[in-house]
Amino acid sequence: MIKVERLLINYKTLEMFKRFKEYGHQELSMLEDLQNKIVENNSESPFYGIYYGNNLIARMSLYEINKKYDYYFEPQQDYLTLWKLEVLPDYQGRGYGKRLVEFAKEFRLPIKTNPRINSHGFWEKMGFQKAHYEMERDLGENPLIWLPEGVQEKEIIK
């Protein structure tokens, strides 16, 4: 069983994040906050990851959106948003991405993600479906959702 760990914010983690393609403002901001002591060393991050030996080889970010801001699900409820799911190239095709998504599903909350366009086959295999696209809500996103039992996609009235 591949172990998924909640990642702690420290210089070592942030250095390992640089190997991932989707390194961006989020990681830079975490680094600045650490340097300026706005966050403590080893505080929890929204990232979960998989280590292979001492190397972080896969990661994703998860954040729980409050029911109040749920425009995707029926009944309206808290849900998870998942982003920056990525497995380093040398470790792809071995189930690490799948394991991370399964980990997210274990919270038994609906999940929304906005994947890059060429990864739809993977998400479909993971049981995700295209949300009906609504421009005012989704703008440049390609929203995919996963529905646990008893949850439906919110109907859009055009």
- Verify binding: residue 157, a second copy, rule CB under 8 A: no
Query: Which of the stretches 48-56, 70-78, 99-107, 127-135 binds a second copy when contact is defined by CB under 8 A?
Result: 127-135
- Verify binding: residue 46, a second copy, rule CB under 8 A: yes
Asked if 19 and 49 touch (Cβ cutoff 8 Å), the reply is no
Task: Write down the residue that tokens 């909640």 correspond to.
Answer: 6
User: C-beta of 139: minimal distance to a second copy in Å?
Assistant: 6
- Verify binding: residue 130, a second copy, rule CB under 8 A: yes
| Integer Cα distance of 7 and 13 in angstroms | 7
Contact track, a second copy, 49-88, x by CB under 8 A: ------------x-x-----------------x-xx----
Residues in the interface with a second copy (CB under 8 A) total 31
Among 26, 88, 95, 119, binds a second copy (CB under 8 A): 26
Among 11, 12, 28, 124, binds a second copy (CB under 8 A): 28
State which amino acid sits at residue 87. Answer: V
For the chain, where are the alpha helices, taking DSSP H only? 11-17, 25-35, 96-105, 120-125, 135-138
Largest CA distance in the chain: 51
Of 134, 146, 153, residue with least CA distance to 62: 146
| Integer Cα distance of 38 and 26 in angstroms | 15
Q: Which is nearer to a second copy, 1 or 117 (CB)?
A: 117
Asked if 83 and 113 touch (Cβ cutoff 8 Å), the reply is yes
Task: Give the interface with a second copy as residue ranges (CB under 8 A).
Answer: 21-26, 28-29, 33, 38, 46, 61, 63, 81, 83-84, 114, 117, 130-133, 135-136, 138-143, 158
